[in-house]
Amino acid sequence: MDMVALAIQLAAGSLGGFLIGRALPGLSLGIAGNLLTGLVGGLLGGSIIVSLLGLIRQLAAVGLDFSAFIAQVAASGVGGAALTLAVGVLRRALARP
């Protein structure tokens, strides 16, 4: 994995985690928790999309393509938001007596 793709995945994932925490305060993990789960989710989401589709890798092989950048940001942002949301729901479910 190239360093630019990794940086995009981490940044977009943390942004996705942060935004879902702000949008759904009842499921928020706090700023640090949202950012950390967003980082992990962005890395996982971006890696899974790259592995399954291979589209981003093909587009990136041509050069720095804007559509590859957008696809990477979207996949990582959604992955970060999804993992943060899942952890927030799980934490809330386990906290109930």
**Residue 73 pLDDT level (bands cut at 50, 70, 90):** confident
Condensed to tens digits (0 to 9), the pLDDT of residues 3-53 reads 888 888 999 999 999 999 999 999 999 999 999 999 999 999 888 877 776
Residue 46: what pLDDT?
83
| pLDDT greater at residue 36 or residue 95 | 36
Distance CA(33)–CA(25), nearest Å, equals 12
- Residue reference for tokens 């890696």: 47
> What was the pLDDT predicted at 62?
58
* DSSP letters spanning 22-91: HH-GGG--HHHHHHHHHHHHHHHHHHHHHHHH-HHHHHHHHSS-HHHHHHHHHHHHHHHHHHHHHHHHHH
What predicted TM-score, i.e. pTM, was given to this entire model?
Answer: 0.82
Residue 75 amino acid letter: A
